[in-house]
């Protein structure tokens, strides 16, 4: 049992306070992140990225399940996505500071989902308030779904405050974009061109990708998933538009190095898109006959062989909801005909 000598305690406390003051470092403003962010660099380019762990956000991964990246130019830094907690956003900011002391000028957000935007708070409060850029439909971050994966912002925040406490807590807030665009938003910084293109609704209404031709890099956001079952279970998901977007990415020439929203980057474009494309195709092919024959969803779902995906991370959390979402989308299309 811990005992305290009441005469020594004030002196010990004073020493601790003085020790903290002597380091000269302000304490981190967020709960400590103990996992390694894993900063990596694209070969021969001032382009950096971190890769999140596979699976759904929880205490085991401390919310680090998505990717983010940044490009250093002579006039400042452009960041793509902000990670899934303010604490992780702060760590990303520290990672940027380990590479350059140039100011962070802009943050482009692939889409407004919790795992990509909660880190914005750290950039606004501690990173010099860079412009936050997102497609205009990202502002209407709302909706809902049957499973626990609904994308209504307030409900999601409440869920994350439980699942990711203390990294997401009562002080966590959703930062809205400063600059919104419709189809495209292009800019140059430090002589480097940045092309942002709206690809949604696909995974989310505002899905956007950022192409940096100078370095042959595409930040794809969640259009490209690797290493886990993709997330489709939102009323705003459009699987057919999503497939068109994957086709556009696969057709880019010269082939870019793709940094996906989840999973390892790769310079083989076809291999990058194939995991997501095959999964969506499998859901459509599996659900289409059931919808055509008016087979109830539960019955259809139970009859499908899921073995090729069952061992993938996030299968238990996402697959059933994903399948149901595709079932509903096919049903709506069949009525619309
Ligand atoms: Zn994501």
Ligand 1 centroid to Cα of residue 89, in Å, is 15
For residue range 245-289, what is the model confidence (pLDDT) as tens digits? 999 999 999 999 999 999 999 888 888 898 899 999 999 999 999
Ligand 1 centroid to Cα of residue 67, in Å, is 8
Ligand 1 centroid to Cα of residue 21, in Å, is 39
Ligand 1 centroid to Cα of residue 222, in Å, is 5
For residue range 145-185, what is the model confidence (pLDDT) as tens digits? 333 344 578 888 999 999 999 999 999 998 989 999 999 99
Nearest one of 169, 167, 166, 149 to 158, comparing CA atoms: 169
**Domain range annotation of the chain:** 27-269
Rounded to the nearest 10 degrees, the angle between the axes of helix 239-250 and helix 269-292 is 160
Q: Could you tell me if 40 and 51 are in contact, meaning their C-beta atoms sit under 8 angstroms apart? A: yes
For residue range 184-233, what is the model confidence (pLDDT) as tens digits? 999 999 999 999 999 989 999 999 999 999 999 999 999 998 888 999 98
Give this prediction's pTM. Answer: 0.86
Superfamily of domain 27-269: Ribonuclease Z/Hydroxyacylglutathione hydrolase-like (3.60.15.10)
Percent of the chain with pLDDT over 70: 88
Is the pLDDT at 136 greater than 80, yes or no?
yes
Is the pLDDT at 58 greater than 70, yes or no?
yes
Ligand 1 centroid to Cα of residue 70, in Å, is 17
Instruction: Kindly report the average pLDDT of the chain as a whole number.
Output: 88
Ligand 1 centroid to Cα of residue 125, in Å, is 23
Ligand 1 centroid to Cα of residue 104, in Å, is 22
Length of the chain: 337
Distance CA 5, CA 18 (A): 20
Lowest-confidence pick of 77-81, 140-144, 318-322: 140-144
Ligand 1 centroid to Cα of residue 15, in Å, is 44
- Average pLDDT (27-54) is 94
């Amino acid at each position: 049992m811990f005992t305290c000598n009441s005469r020594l305690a004030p002196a010990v406390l004073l020493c601790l306070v003085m020790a903290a003051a002597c380091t000269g470092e302000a304490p981190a403003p967020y709960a400590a992140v103990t996992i390694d962010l894993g900063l990596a660099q694209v070969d021969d380019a001032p382009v950096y990225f971190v890769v999140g762990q596979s699976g759904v956000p929880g205490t085991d991964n401390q919310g680090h399940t998505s990717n983010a990246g940044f490009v250093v130019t002579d006039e400042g830094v452009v960041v793509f996505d902000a990670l899934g907690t303010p604490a992780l956003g702060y760590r990303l900011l520290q990672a940027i500071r380990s590479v350059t002391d140039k100011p962070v000028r802009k943050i482009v957000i692939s889409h407004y989902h919790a795992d990509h935007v909660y880190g914005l708070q750290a950039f606004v409060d501690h990173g010099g308030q860079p412009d936050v850029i997102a497609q205009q439909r990202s502002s209407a971050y709302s909706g809902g779904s049957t499973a626990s994966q609904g994308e209504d912002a307030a409900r999601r925040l409440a869920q994350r405050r439980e699942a990711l406490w203390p990294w997401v807590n009562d002080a966590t807030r959703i930062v809205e974009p400063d600059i919104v665009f419709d189809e495209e938003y292009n800019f140059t910084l430090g002589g480097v061109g940045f092309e942002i293109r709206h690809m949604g609704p696909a995974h989310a209404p505002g899905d956007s990708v950022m192409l940096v031709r100078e370095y042959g890099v595409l930040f794809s956001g969640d259009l490209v998933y690797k290493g886990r079952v993709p997330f489709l279970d939102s009323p705003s998901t459009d699987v057919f538009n999503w497939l068109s977007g994957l086709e556009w990415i696969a057709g880019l020439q010269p082939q870019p190095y793709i940094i996906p929203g989840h999973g390892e980057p790769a310079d083989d474009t076809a291999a990058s898109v194939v995991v997501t494309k095959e999964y969506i195709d499998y859901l459509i092919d599996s659900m289409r006959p059931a919808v055509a024959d008016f087979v109830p969803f539960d019955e259809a779902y139970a009859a499908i062989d899921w073995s090729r995906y069952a061992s993938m991370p996030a299968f238990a959390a996402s697959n059933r909801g994903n399948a149901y979402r595709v079932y509903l989308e096919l049903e709506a299309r069949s009525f619309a005909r």
